[in-house]
Amino acid sequence: MRAAPSTEGKVALVTGASRGIGFAIARSLAGLGAKVALCARNPERLEKAAASLKNTGANVVPIPADVRNANDIASLVRSTEQSLGAIEILVNNAGIGVLAPIHEASEADWDSILDTNLKAVFLLTKAVAPGMIQRRGGHIINIGSLSGKSAFAGGAIYCASKWGLLGLTQCAAEDLRAHGIRVSAVLPGSVATDFSPHAGKDTSKMLQPEDVAHAVETIVTQAPQSFISEVNIRPAQKP
């Protein structure tokens, strides 16, 4: 049996990494031997997350940044490369959601959600792609949502951002695959984090952050001739 490609020593950048899904992904990649840059907006929370991973022997660096801002992204990429090396794995996980009927949602809600969930992915992909093209390889993994394929009341802006993210991912994959870069989407259902409401649900039956991290782990360790372009994740039982 052919051994899976190793992530030992590879450099990964994970956004929204101070808690929840992003933290689980960072922990998983570090456990595979990757050097991981953790990005989030809250410096204190980010430092705490990094400290907990360093206590396990992980090679991680916390880099606060607002991924909605192009200047912050340029600084984030530069600091990652100066601290750890060229970025070989990018996980676009940072995301927010405001749920409200479309006639009650505000323009500020639209701007905030689309900037975080969609524009940031575009900007980060543009920032890391040239280096990956030069090195003829890399992974860009976008954490979306099954809401990017289905509609629900109150989810107009959030769903728009996730539908857009899926389209962006698929087009970027076509643009970059000839350069040895695999762009993939991971689309989980509701995950037991403080991001989504869980009223009336059995959280023990819900997806856990580690389930999403496992999907990312599968993508970065796939055989070199294959391309896992999309992973949909649902709980085994409805919560």
Say if CB 219 and CB 142 are below 8 A apart. no
HSE-CB at 196 with a 13 A cutoff on CA atoms is 19
User: For the segment 106-165, what is each residue's pLDDT rounded down to a tens digit?
Assistant: 999 999 999 999 999 999 999 999 999 999 999 999 999 999 999 999 999 999 999 999
In the three-class reduction of DSSP (H, G, I as helix; E, B as strand; rest coil), residue 23 is classed as helix
Domains and CATH numbers, the chain: 11-233 (3.40.50.720)
HSE-CB at 75 with a 13 A cutoff on CA atoms is 12
User: For the segment 171-214, what is each residue's pLDDT rounded down to a tens digit?
Assistant: 999 999 999 999 999 999 989 887 665 666 788 889 999 999 99
Output the CA angle 120-122-126, nearest 5 degrees.
115
Distance CA 201, CA 205 (A): 8
Residue 88 exposed, middle or buried by CB count within 10 Å (0-12, 13-18, 19+): buried
Per-residue pLDDT, 238 = 79
Per-residue pLDDT, 181 = 98
Per-residue pLDDT, 6 = 80
Q: For the whole model, what pTM was predicted?
A: 0.95
Q: Which residues are catalytic?
A: 158
